[in-house]
Homo-oligomer: A and B are copies of this chain.
């Protein structure tokens, strides 16, 4: 499968990209003096919640439409440690969209603009009742593909 690079570029410019600002708190630091591995997954979830909200798909709306989303894979690289008081920015944007699953790319930067963590998160859209994979809402797919604002 070949892709026209110009399409990719255009896609990157039109998809929704959110930034969530947080401060590293004392109880998020482990015995080594830095943010614990597991805590970053909470940070990423906070970023995704913002992204869903801005995309017009908060948790409640999914439910109203009969959907639930389930995270099935997270692949996370820890590049640089974070410490108490650090001001972090969680950047979330779509990576790809399939029929009943999609992936988000998430990155966490510190106050010096250094990349601390990056993760790809794969999510499946499920029928809330049958708990089986179900083709995602058209509007979500358009948003993931950066087509939401087109005429």
Name A residues whose Cβ lies closer than 8 Å to a Cβ of B: 25-27, 29-33, 36-39, 41-42, 45-46, 49, 68, 70-79, 84
> What's the Cα separation between A27 and B79 when bound, in Å?
20
Of B27, B73, B74, the residue contacting A46 (CB under 8 A) is B27
> What's the Cα separation between A71 and B76 when bound, in Å?
10
Of B33, B42, B75, the residue contacting A27 (CB under 8 A) is B42
> What's the Cα separation between A49 and B36 when bound, in Å?
14
Contacts A29-B31, A38-B39 known; 16 new A-B pairs at CB < 8 A: A25-B42, A25-B46, A26-B30, A26-B45, A27-B30, A27-B45, A27-B46, A31-B33, A31-B84, A32-B68, A37-B74, A38-B41, A41-B41, A72-B78, A73-B76, A75-B75
B contact residues around A45 at 8 Å (CB): 25-27, 36-38
